[in-house]
Each structure stands twice: as C-alpha cells, then as structure tokens.
C-alpha cells in the first residue's frame, strides 16, 4: 500500500485555460497576483470581495474588463486574473499588491511519469496500442471518486459488449456515477463489519466512493483520462494522464477507514472474485497481507484463479524495505512491482542576500509564501546550536525567525525539525543528506533541506555577513534531474521468504512523489495546524508503482492480444532498463551504490522496448502447480489454490521464469542447472547467441550458446549451469551477488536480458 496510507489527505483549485477568443489584443495575459491580506481595507468582510472590488476598479481603455479566475484561500494569498498591460500597471500601484507572476504551463504529461517512461502520443507503444482502448482494468483498493477529471469519458467509445459488471448503489454513490471510463464500481465490507467496523461512525462511505484517496490515486495512475492543469499546490504541474488513458476502469472497494486501514481477507477475495466474474482483463492490487505460504494468502489464492482465465495481475511489493526477505505478494503468477524515483525534484530556491548566491533544495511546502530578504539566525561559535540538536536552541533567540541548521552526520533532519517546532521558528534551511527521504506531508512549515555541499555555501555566507538575509521561492519543480531512477528506500526487497526460488520483485516502476487524482473532501496538506484540500496529490509507495505496470500491461495486451500474462511480464522484465539517466547502473537510494536484482528485479520498466521483446519466457498454469508441488504443499493445500480435487503435477522449482536466482546453503560449493524455454514473438526466422556477465566467484555455462527460431511462436530450449565456490568461510557477501544472461539477435536488434543473482536462504 502507499507508504503513507493515508494520514494526511488532500483539494486544490481547478485551473482553467482562458480561451483566446476572450482576448481582443495580444497584450492580455493571465497573471497570479500576490496580495498582502493585512492591507485589506476595513469595509471588506472577505479577501475575495476585496479582490473582486479591486479588479472592478481597474479602468479598461479597450472596454474589455479584467476576468477573475480564482481566489486562493490557502495555497497563497491572492488571486488570478486575465489582465491587459494597462490593467496590470494600475494594479501594481494599488495598496496591498505584493508581486505578480505571469501564468506558466507545465508539460502535458502524467505529471511526468509517462514522459519519463518514454510514452509518446506520436510514436511507440501508446499509438500502437490505441492507448489501451478496449482493455478493462480492475482495481482492488479503497474506492474511487468518480467526479474526478481523471475519470471523464470524453471521446471514449461505447463500453465493450463483453462487460458484465455494474455500478452499485450505496452511500453517496449510484449508477449515474459511472460512465464509459469508469464502467463498474462495487464495495465489499461484510468481513470488516463482522470484525466490528461500523462504517457509519468512521466517516467512510458504505459504497464504492473513496474516502481515503488511495484508490482514486491508483486508478488515475493506471488509466486516468487527460486532466489538464493538475498539480499538488503548484508542484508537479502538468496534465495528469494514466498509463493506458483509453482503458476502462472498474473499482472493487475492499478497504475502509478504520484507523488502521485494514482489508479483511474475506472482502479482498470477494472483490477479486467479482472482478473475475465481471470480465476484467487486468487486475492491480496495491495492498498486501503478511507473508505466508501461498495457500493462506488471500491475494495469492484469488489471483491464481484470475491467471487461469488469462487476467494479468500486478501487485505492490510492499513498503518494508530496504531489508531483504520483506517482499509481499511474491507468488510467481503475480507481477510484483517495486518502487523507484523519477527525474523530477520538488524544490524551493534559496537566494542569499542580494542574490549573489542561490541554492536549490527539497521542499513541498504547499503555499507560495513570500519570503523576501528575511533575517536568518545561525548560532555562530556554538556547534550544538549550529546543528540544531535537540534542546540546543533558545526560543527567545529564534522564535518567529528563520534558522539555519548545519550538517552533522549524527543528527537527523527530524531532530532539526523538532527544534524548529519546539522553538517556534518561522521556518528553516536544513543542511542534511537525508532530505530526499522526507515525504510530502512532512512539509507543514516553510523549510528547505539542502545537501551538505550547498549547506557549506549557506554557512559560509552566514559567517561572513554582518546582517545575513535569505529569500525563498517555493513551488519549484525541476525536471531531468539525475540520477534517476533510483530504488526507493521503502521498497521491499527479495527474496520471497516462503518461496525464494523465483526472483522478486519482478520489476521497478515509478513510486516516489507520484501525482494522481485524490478525494477532495478530506483534510490533506498541512500548514501548521491547518489543512488544505486538493483534487490531485503527490503520494509515494509501491502502491503507486503497481498501477503503472498494470497500465503498461494493458497497452501490451492491446497490442498483442495473444500474449499470456506470463509473456507480458517477460516482455517487461527482459527489456527493462538497468542503466539510469546518468548512464550508470541503477543505484539504491539508501546506499548510493549500484542496486541488485533483489532490489529491482529485471530493472526499471521500459514500455516501448517491451512492445517488441523478440523472445519471451512463457509459463502455463500447470507450471505454477508443479512449482507448488515442489514446495511440498499437501493435497489439501494445493486444492485451496487450484480448486482441483485431483491435482496432477511433477514437482519442479525451476519455473520458466525470465530471471534466475541461486539459493545458497552453507556448503563450500553450490552448483545448479536451470532449464528454460524461449518463444519467438516476431514474424521471421531468427538466431540468438548468449552472452554472460558473471560476478566474481560465479561460473556460468549456457548450453547451447546459440539458438534458432524458424518462425513466430517456435520454441527453443537451453540450460544454464551456475557454479559458485564460497571458499572456506561462506558469508552473506554473496547475497545479491549478480550478473546477467543476455541473448543477442544475430543480424537483428532484439536484446533479451535476464538477471542472475545469488542469495542465502532465510
């Protein structure tokens, strides 16, 4: 589930383009006007009426009056309007005017993840797949807010005739809330009610309507329609758009607000069951149960039935990283998704003094606060005060002031935050190497974290200046930052505790500060003791990664109707990126060094490459049954999953998976041979040869090293033998020791890569 699920819930203003026809001259522009509310004249009862009166008072030489757009109640003090140059000149001379910013427009993408993933309207997987048209994605989650712009059905064709679902009637929800985008919505709460949940006393809705925001967010990420001018209080501006923007959505609500946000296994299974009955093509579950054998895991059980019917299933890997063996949803028929960062930073720009030095740091403070040449406190000569350790600052010195806290690797940014709150400081600049780990909801005060190198610039300026001042511009969004992606700190790592013989997670996808649709009725972004509301929110978690993958799978399934769920997963894994945008191996954000397949599986998903993988590793239902037989499940346990009274199987832990994991024991030497079958998915004969990148201490042999495919869907078998000599003192150093097996097409362009990793059994 989303890492912060969801303690602070979020509503923002709708942004509207002013049609060009309303403008009679080229000098009319849209502006954001900052006003000083303390200067509001006494006759006005509200600042809105003051702004309206101000606009009315402006003379219009061209007889076209100003157009008021929005009054901002929390995100900033002021309003926006369409003004001529004459209007603007008059307004800037009026009492109370602080500053004017001309309107800017964000890039037209999912608040950035589609572009980061290479999706383009003109070329590649989006147009090839018709943007996922005809696919139906089932989301098992907290419900949905149907009025969100992300679920508008403009331009959508009729609902597929095969659809058997419906929109149920319940609290604040009925069939009219569905349309050609949101084609089904149901809720399941009997299990929670039996456990003592009284929905009527929790403020949640006894219906598919979302109270927590989580399901609305995941749904919009997977298949949201284009929603222009979306942002989180000015951060991450752009057009919010799902991975498969023409796909249909069906919501199955199984989580209700109960202070722990639990989902009953009975309700979860009921939701999966109904989704299968309704005819979904794909399922995404951004929730998980504690790791248990598959036969007692409701998600593993329910999704096995889905896979049998050709339904692709993606699930979040869990937010218990960075430690190993923390993977949830690790059944081999589930595509398990870890979370990575994207190349976008949410920032504030700090200007020192007269502007001779500027630094940029992380901040998601949700108000465009005017911080201009304000004094800043720094405890010169007292190291404990300089680093703002607990109870080192005197409130008499810093109350109402901005403070600077120097870097110290033994002091966390949270201790510095405590000092800011305790002393009543107005805001802060923190020099810290952990600012990147702070979640959105932490920024309830106007503070900025800068890295230690920039912190040195700030400190040197403060030491040398007699009367140091700073200016801060919040709501800065930087694109193209490097390195990205990185493996998120919270993303759960493999192997799977109860069944480590398949590598998990399978793949990495965006899961940090993802902008998606939100419920507009709940207190969200904090400012001190107050909360703002929003229609779009930034949320982090593997919950956000799973819907990215299910949306991409919908595109692939549209482009390749005959591909199985395993083939779709294989295509994503074998074409995934293992190099970041700085042309280096993808790093673990915690350690700052190269991650391993236990962190990111096959790599970071690359949708356009996945549409043409060349070869796939396919897996049938019987193969999964053979795998479970090798786990020594009893007949009854197997029947729990398969629903078959007479299970026939040949025990085999070596699934035809697109990755390889060697589970080590305490003996000095380990040798294991994997058998794999590759299937060609191109309309031509082709030949591939194998190349192995083996880590130190690991010998790898491929037989045969060259394989030939005479036609599409022809198959070829190979063996991969791994020998590992642990020496006289086997250690955990071999956990995550990895390399790659890559098949290169002769006289072609296809490259099929699989990770090979070793780990000790838990």
Q: 470 - beta bridge partners?
A: 352, 374
| CATH 3.50.30.30 segments of the chain | 348-473
Q: Is 214 a catalytic residue?
A: yes
Q: What is the pLDDT of residues 667-697, one digit of tens each?
A: 666 789 999 999 999 999 999 999 999 988 8
CATH of domain 655-760: 2.60.40.2310
The whole-number pLDDT of residue 60 equals 85
Report whether pLDDT(52) > 90. Answer: no
| Least trusted range by pLDDT, from 255-269, 405-419, 425-439 | 255-269
Q: What is the pLDDT of residues 396-413, one digit of tens each?
A: 999 999 999 999 888 888
CATH of domain 130-342+488-610: 3.40.50.200
CA distance 755 to 588: 17
CATH of domain 348-473: 3.50.30.30
The whole-number pLDDT of residue 201 equals 77
Give the up-direction half-sphere exposure of residue 1: CA atoms within 13 A in the CB hemisphere: 21
Give Cα 97 to chain centroid, integer Å. 39
Confidence of residue 267 (pLDDT cuts 50, 70, 90): confident
**Nearest partner of 658 among 523, 500, 491, 506, judged by Cα:** 506
The sign of the dihedral angle between the CA atoms of 56, 62, 64, 69 is negative
Confidence of residue 11 (pLDDT cuts 50, 70, 90): very low
**Nearest partner of 544 among 505, 513, 586, judged by Cα:** 513
Q: What is the pLDDT of residues 305-341, one digit of tens each?
A: 999 999 999 999 999 999 999 999 999 999 999 999 9
| CATH 3.30.70.80 segments of the chain | 20-102
Confidence of residue 551 (pLDDT cuts 50, 70, 90): very high
The whole-number pLDDT of residue 266 equals 80
Q: What is the pLDDT of residues 602-635, one digit of tens each?
A: 999 999 999 999 999 999 999 999 999 999 998 8
Q: Which residues contact 43 (CB under 8 A, 6 or more apart)?
A: none
Report whether pLDDT(599) > 90. Answer: yes
Q: What is the pLDDT of residues 343-367, one digit of tens each?
A: 999 999 999 998 879 999 999 999 9
Structure tokens at 63: 């007889």
CA distance 535 to 522: 10
Helices vs. strands in the chain: H and E counts, helices first: 18, 35
Q: Which residues contact 464 (CB under 8 A, 6 or more apart)?
A: none
Are the C-beta atoms of residues 663 and 495 closer than 8 Å to each other?
A: yes
Are the C-beta atoms of residues 543 and 657 closer than 8 Å to each other?
A: no
What CATH fold (topology level) applies to the domain 20-102?
Answer: Alpha-Beta Plaits (3.30.70)
| Average of per-residue pLDDT across 141-168 | 96
DSSP state of 37: G
Q: What is the pLDDT of residues 84-132, one digit of tens each?
A: 999 989 998 888 887 776 643 322 224 467 788 888 888 888 888 888 8
DSSP state of 17: P
Q: What is the pLDDT of residues 701-736, one digit of tens each?
A: 999 999 999 999 999 999 999 998 776 555 555 566
Residue 681, judged by CB atoms within 10 A of its CB (0-12, 13-18, 19+), counts as buried
Confidence of residue 552 (pLDDT cuts 50, 70, 90): very high
The whole-number pLDDT of residue 242 equals 96
H or E stretch at 182: strand 182-187
CA distance 473 to 471: 7
Report whether pLDDT(548) > 60. Answer: yes
Give Cα 660 to chain centroid, integer Å. 27
Q: Which of these is catalytic: 214, 560, 604, 750?
A: 214
Give the up-direction half-sphere exposure of residue 2: CA atoms within 13 A in the CB hemisphere: 31
CA distance 344 to 455: 21
Query: What angle, rounded to 10 degrees, do the helices at 542-559 and 214-223 form?
Result: 30
DSSP state of 158: P
Give Cα 594 to chain centroid, integer Å. 21
CA distance 572 to 338: 13
Q: Which of these is catalytic: 77, 141, 297, 599?
A: 141
Structure tokens at 54: 């101000």
Q: What is the pLDDT of residues 631-651, one digit of tens each?
A: 999 888 887 788 887 888 899
| Average of per-residue pLDDT across 483-500 | 95
Q: Which of these is catalytic: 80, 219, 543, 570?
A: 543
CA distance 309 to 390: 58
Confidence of residue 3 (pLDDT cuts 50, 70, 90): very low
The whole-number pLDDT of residue 644 equals 83
Q: Is 618 a catalytic residue?
A: no
Q: Is 577 a catalytic residue?
A: no
CA distance 667 to 110: 50
| Average of per-residue pLDDT across 381-389 | 80
Q: 662 - beta bridge partners?
A: 758
| CATH 2.60.40.2310 segments of the chain | 655-760
Confidence of residue 594 (pLDDT cuts 50, 70, 90): very high
CA distance 185 to 144: 8
The whole-number pLDDT of residue 73 equals 53
DSSP 317-333: --S-TTSSS--SS--TT
Are the C-beta atoms of residues 534 and 13 closer than 8 Å to each other?
A: no
Q: 716 - beta bridge partners?
A: 678
| Average of per-residue pLDDT across 274-288 | 94
CA dist 721 → 554, 663, 666, 675, 716 (Å): 35, 13, 19, 9, 17
The whole-number pLDDT of residue 259 equals 64
Whole-number mean pLDDT of the chain? Answer: 88
Q: Structure pTM?
A: 0.84
Task: State the alpha helices, DSSP H only, in 153-295.
Answer: 190-194, 214-223, 265-278
Are the C-beta atoms of residues 307 and 333 closer than 8 Å to each other?
A: yes
CA dist 70 → 81, 230, 239, 390 (Å): 7, 15, 19, 42
């Amino acid at each position: 589930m989303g890492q912060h699920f969801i303690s602070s819930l979020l509503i923002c203003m709708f942004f509207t383009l002013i049609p060009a026809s309303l403008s009679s001259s080229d000098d009319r522009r849209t502006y954001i006007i900052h006003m000083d509310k303390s200067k509001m004249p006494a006759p006005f009862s509200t600042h809105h009426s003051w702004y309206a009166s101000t606009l009315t008072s402006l003379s219009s030489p061209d007889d076209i009056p100003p157009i008021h757009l929005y009054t901002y109640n929390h995100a900033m003090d002021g309003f926006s309007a369409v003004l001529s140059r004459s209007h603007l000149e008059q307004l800037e001379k009026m009492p109370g005017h602080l500053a004017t910013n001309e309107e800017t427009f964000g890039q037209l993408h999912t608040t950035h993840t589609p572009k980061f993933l290479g999706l383009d309207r003109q070329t590649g997987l989006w147009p090839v797949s018709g943007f996922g048209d005809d696919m139906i994605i089932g989301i098992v989650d907290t419900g949905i807010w149907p009025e969100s712009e992300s679920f508008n059905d403009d331009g959508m064709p009729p609902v597929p005739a095969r659809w058997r679902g419906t929109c149920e009637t319940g609290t604040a929800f009925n069939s009219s809330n569905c349309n050609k985008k949101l084609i089904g919505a149901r809720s399941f709460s009997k299990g929670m009610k039996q456990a003592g949940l009284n929905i009527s006393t929790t403020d949640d809705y006894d219906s598919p309507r979302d109270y927590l925001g989580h399901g609305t967010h995941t749904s919009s990420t997977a298949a949201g329609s284009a929603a222009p001018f979306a942002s989180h209080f000015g951060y991450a501006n752009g057009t919010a758009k799902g991975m498969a923007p023409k796909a249909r959505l069906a919501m199955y609500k199984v989580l209700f607000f109960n202070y722990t946000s639990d989902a009953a296994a009975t309700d979860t299974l009921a939701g999966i069951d109904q989704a299968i009955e309704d005819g979904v093509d794909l399922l995404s579950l951004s929730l998980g149960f504690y790791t248990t054998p598959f036969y007692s895991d409701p998600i593993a059980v329910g999704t096995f039935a889905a896979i049998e019917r050709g339904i692709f299933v993606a699930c979040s890997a869990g937010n218990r990283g960075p430690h190993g063996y923390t993977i949830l949803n690790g059944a081999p028929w589930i595509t398990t998704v870890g979370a990575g960062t994207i190349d976008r930073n949410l920032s504030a720009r700090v200007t020192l003094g007269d502007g001779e030095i500027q630094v940029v740091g992380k901040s998601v403070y949700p108000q465009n606060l005017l911080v201009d040449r304000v004094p800043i406190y720094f405890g010169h000569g007292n190291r404990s005060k300089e680093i703002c350790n607990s109870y080192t600052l005197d409130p008499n010195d810093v109350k109402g002031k901005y403070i600077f806290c120097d870097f110290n690797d033994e002091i966390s940014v949270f201790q510095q935050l405590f000092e800011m709150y305790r002393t009543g400081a107005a805001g802060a600049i923190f020099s810290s190497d952990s600012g990147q780990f702070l979640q959105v909801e932490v920024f309830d005060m106007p503070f900025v974290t800068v890295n230690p190198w920039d912190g040195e610039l700030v400190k040197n300026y403060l030491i040398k200046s007699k009367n140091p001042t700073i200016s801060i511009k919040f709501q800065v969004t930087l694109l193209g930052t490097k390195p990205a992606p990185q493996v998120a700190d919270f993303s759960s790592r493999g192997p799977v505790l109860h069944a480590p013989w398949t590598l998990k997670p399978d793949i990495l996808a965006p899961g940090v500060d993802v902008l998606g649709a939100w419920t507009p009725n709940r207190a969200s972004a904090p400012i001190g003791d107050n909360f703002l509301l929003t229609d779009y929110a930034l949320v982090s978690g593997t919950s956000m990664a799973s819907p990215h993958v299910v949306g991409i799978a919908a595109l692939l399934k549209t482009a390749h109707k005959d591909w199985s769920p395993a083939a779709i997963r294989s295509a994503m894994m074998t074409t995934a990126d293992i190099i970041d945008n700085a042309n280096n191996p993808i790093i673990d954000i915690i350690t700052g060094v190269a991650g391993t397949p236990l962190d990111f599986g096959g790599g970071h998903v690359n949708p356009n490459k996945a549409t043409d993988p060349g070869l796939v590793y396919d897996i049938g239902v019987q193969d999964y049954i053979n795998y479970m037989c090798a786990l020594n499940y009893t007949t009854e346990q197997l029947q729990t999953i398969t629903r078959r009274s007479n299970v026939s199987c040949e025990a085999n832990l070596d699934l035809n998976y697109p990755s390889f994991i060697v589970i080590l024991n305490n003996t000095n030497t380990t040798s294991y041979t994997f058998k794999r079958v590759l299937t060609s998915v191109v309309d031509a004969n082709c030949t591939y040869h194998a190349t192995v990148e083996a880590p130190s201490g690991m010998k790898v042999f491929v037989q045969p090293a060259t394989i030939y495919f005479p036609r599409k869907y022809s198959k070829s078998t190979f063996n991969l033998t791994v020998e590992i000599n642990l020496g006289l003192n086997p250690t955990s150093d071999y956990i995550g020791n990895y390399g790659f097996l890559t098949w290169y097409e002769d006289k072609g362009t296809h490259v099929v890569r699989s990770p090979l990793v070793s780990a000790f059994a838990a």
